[in-house]
Chain A
Amino acid sequence: MIRMRRTRPTAVVATTLVTVGLLTGCAEELPTPKAEAPVAEAVVTQAQEREILDKVAGVVEKVTKQSQADDLAPRLAGPALDIRTTQLKVAAARKDSEPLTDLSMQMQQVILPSDETWPRSSYAITVQPKDLTTPVLMAFDQASARDQYKLWGWVRLLPGVTMPQFAEAELGSAAVPPDDASLKTTPTDAIKQYASVLTVDKDSKYADNFADDDLRQFFRDYGKLQVDAINKEECKGAFEVAYEPTKDPVKAVRTADGGALVMAAMISKETITAKEEGCEIGPPTKTTQALWGDADVTNVVEVNYQDMVAMYVPPKESEDQISLVGYEHVPSSVSNG
């Protein structure tokens, strides 16, 4: 009987094992979705950005060859569309391509968006163009989820400028709202103030907020050149320039130090006047001459420009001044006042 007692548990164990094996074989659990936790990263990958750049560059290149400005719309928007259209017009008038900014998109750096909402903006800095002009900082914009990324604006960087640091491209950089208060001035105000500074230079009450820059120096030199030329004829020359922001939204992206890179479109008008009676002046530059057409010559030349500026706005607590990093200054029309 002992043997019986011994075998029974064994049998029970064996039977149980077999039964359990049989049963478990029938019920394999359905997997449930295991989604990765959302992580902070750029909403546009670098690979995607590359494709976007290629698509935009393709459109730009095609349009540049064919001078069909209408075809720009699918991939250009806002100030960029306006400015490029103007450039094409001027280039057509001048019958050469010098007015056309080189927009080939070989990038040395991309600044990708981290915001999941729209509009989204990415930025990119090109390598040095073949014509040895300075690199171009471009801004791309996706207005809504069902829109494509479009070139929204660009500036030529100032020679020797140091760009602020941005977050890693993988992480993406946050957009800064136009009224962001963490900066020395809000992006919107920064543009307004800078327009004032460009217009009246040192006489602006905001002059202290801005470091001197190449653009302001350019107007000083250029104005002096024009005035001197007129004065040579003793015509009492005068030169003035007036800037104002456009209604296009200001774009800003956070830099690593908490500041922001601010880009905005402006328009400007420079007026050259020969105040002496009887003096007449014509368009000063090759481009304005091409745009001048057969208008009568008067004592006034007004040149309208489309502008784009990019500036670094330091964080509020910083002692730095707002500094220009790049601009684009494209004559769009000229008139005799």
Chain B
Amino acid sequence: MVQRFLAILLIIAGLGGIGYGIATATVLRESDTVVATATPSGDGTLVVTEPGVLGLVDDQVTVRATVPEGQKVTLALGSEVDVLGWVGDDPYDSVTGLSTWETLSVAPGTPPEAEQTGEESGEQPGEESADAGKPAKGPDPSGSDMWLSEVSGETTVSMRWTEEPGRVVLLAAGVGDGAEAPTLELTWPRPASTPYLWPGVLGGGFALILGVFMAIGARRGKKKATTRTSSTVRTRRTESELPRRDVFGVDGDQTEAQADGPGFPPAQPGPPAGPGSRPAGGAFPPAGEPAESGTAVFLPAARLRPGRGTPEPVAPEPEPASAWGPPAPFGGAGGAAPITPPPTPEPAPEPAAAPAASVRGLRRSRRAQQGPVAAPAGPAPYGGAPEQAPAAPAAQPAPAAQAAAAPSGRPMTRREMRLREQAQRRAATGAMPAVPASAPEPEPEPEEQQTPSSRAAAWRQTWGVTGSDDGGNR
């Protein structure tokens, strides 16, 4: 249940992530420009930007200054020193930066020599306040030699500026009688990046896939559970056969499932579908088995494995029989149960409609019992593998084996897998029942034949593709 819930959660999160990623690149995409406005606060007629404000968002800025209808306004760009020098002791507003993406922060500017004039010349402040008292007559900065660029006009003027090295600042002045400080609007282009598009889509996709697999897993688990209940009985019944069951006991499961179920007809169509889905979820049980019954089988198997796995690596080879002793209890766990039944149905399904894979696997499982040499080592370490190994031939386990087999001390190499495969195939021909013993070593063929064709064959087997190879062997 939890797993299912998680799966749904993941799917939702995945879809959400994808949706969000796409949305950020479309509907939520930021505007291509940043437009910020400074509304003057003081009673001066001048507005000055601080150094760096013009290039705040981008090197290119468009400045627009607006004063009440009919009044004159001047925009001038100059070095900070020049502009502040020109402003001198007049009150002015300083644009210090962005307070939001739409608003420029404005602070009363401080005249550079405020302290001096304040203390040394006591008269000056008086004069100034007298000046301030009368309607402001905005001085006009236009025409000064110091400006790098300037523009004057009525009501609204605008200018573009491309940031250059240096401390360039903007002076905006309302000019004339009764002038007011202009309202500044700075517009920068902004590269509307879509930084969340791909992370969103990829991350979402990942979560989605993960979720889908979990959902599938959950479903399998459910099926498996039902299967188990029916097979438990048989497990008991066939307990005597336990020894026969080897690592590839899954086949038993499979077979059983098939035997059990005419209700599982979809099982057959499964195999082809399997290979496709498997690569996606590497961690998941190989899908070589029939889609429905197959998946259902693996999951429980995976769960089982820990229990079973322990005995296997330890004693499987020398004493298959004794080693299999432990599995019996697993029946209780539910996983082991299906394993045993295979023997019983074996004969039946084989000739019948059982898929090639299962047949093969079945045989192998027998063989493996006889010659358990190679069998246990590989499958044991990794999840779900043991069961699948036979069914979904060598190659699939192989990659996993390389990674996971290490702990067992006897990693199942690709080669070994192949060898075993070969051995089993031979066994399948029925010519030599005793092959297994010699199989691992004396079969250098596959190794040497690292030709494309042999590889291809291995690949086909790996992914459960029933080609002429298999057919021939059979």
Contact = CB atoms under 8 A, between A and B. Distances in A.
Interface of A: 1-4, 6-8, 10-11, 14-15, 17-18, 21-22, 25, 28, 30-36, 38-39, 41, 43-44, 48, 51-52, 55, 116-118, 142, 145-146, 148-149
A12 B443 CA distance: 47
A145 B203 contact: no
Interface in B202-230: 203-204, 206-207, 210, 214, 217
Given A33-B53, A35-B50, A3 B299 contact: yes
Given A7-B6, A52-B145, A18 B52 contact: no
The 6 A-B pairs at the shortest CB distance, nearest first, are namely A33-B52, A35-B51, A35-B52, A145-B85, A145-B86, A14-B207
A11 B97 contact: no
A303 B171 CA distance: 51
A314 B222 CA distance: 102
Given A31-B98, A35-B52, A36-B165, A2 B303 contact: yes
Highest count of chain B CB atoms <10 Å: which of A34, A51, A52, A117: A34
A43 B28 CA distance: 46
Interface string B1-42: 011001001100110110010001000101000000000000
Contacts of A1: 303
A33 B50 contact: yes
B165 A18 contact: no
Interface string B294-308: 000001001101100
B200 A21 contact: yes
15 contacts: A1-B303, A2-B305, A14-B14, A18-B200, A25-B20, A30-B100, A31-B97, A33-B96, A34-B55, A35-B167, A44-B146, A51-B145, A52-B145, A145-B146, A146-B139
Given A15-B9, A18-B204, A21-B196, A7 B210 contact: yes
A33 B86 contact: no
A36 B3 contact: no
B6 A36 contact: no
B167 A36 contact: yes
Given A34-B52, A116-B85, A142-B145, 18 more contacts: A2-B303, A3-B299, A3-B383, A4-B3, A6-B283, A7-B6, A7-B214, A14-B14, A15-B207, A21-B17, A21-B199, A25-B196, A32-B56, A33-B51, A33-B97, A38-B167, A43-B79, A43-B81
A149 B85 contact: no
Contact of A25 (B24, B79, B80, B85): B24
A32 B97 contact: yes
A198 B153 CA distance: 55
Given A11-B10, A48-B145, A116 B101 contact: no
Nearest to B3: A4
A33 B52 CA distance: 5
B166 interface: yes
Contacts of A145: 82, 85-86, 88, 146
A36 B168 CA distance: 9
A14 B10 contact: yes
A3 B28 CA distance: 38
A36 B20 contact: no
Contacts of A39: 166
A118 B16 CA distance: 64
Contacts of A146: 86, 88, 139, 141, 144
Contacts of A30: 97-101
Contacts of A142: 145
Nearest to B87: A145
Interface in B158-188: 165-167
B354 interface: no
B57 interface: yes
A173 to B, nearest CB: 16
> Most B CB atoms within 10 A — which of A6, A35, A55, A116?
A35
Given A43-B82, A145-B85, A148-B144, A4 B13 contact: no
B306 A2 contact: yes
B210 A14 contact: yes
Contacts of A31: 56-57, 97-98
Nearest to B53: A33
B3 to A, nearest CB: 6
A204 B57 CA distance: 67
A36 B79 CA distance: 12
Contacts of B51: 33, 35-36
B45 to A, nearest CB: 14
Contacts of A51: 145
B56 A33 contact: yes
Nearest to A149: B145
A90 to B, nearest CB: 30
B13 A18 contact: yes
Contacts of B79: 43
A17 B305 CA distance: 32
B159 to A, nearest CB: 17
Contacts of A14: 10, 13-14, 203, 206-207, 210
A39 B50 CA distance: 16
A18 B203 contact: yes
Contact of B302 (A3, A8, A25): A3
Nearest to B18: A18
Contacts of B14: 14
Contacts of A117: 85
A301 B51 CA distance: 62
A11 B305 CA distance: 23
Contacts of B2: 4
Contact of A3 (B100, B141, B303): B303
Nearest to B148: A48
Contacts of B28: 25
Contact of B207 (A4, A18, A118): A18
A30 B169 CA distance: 20
A4 B6 CA distance: 10
For A11, A18, A31, A149, the residue with the greatest tally of chain B CB atoms inside 10 Å of its CB is A18
A147 to B, nearest CB: 9
Given A3-B217, A145-B82, A145-B88, A21 B144 contact: no
Contacts of A6: 283
A48 B146 contact: yes
Given A4-B3, A18-B13, A43-B81, A11 B145 contact: no
Nearest to B96: A33
Contacts of B199: 17, 21
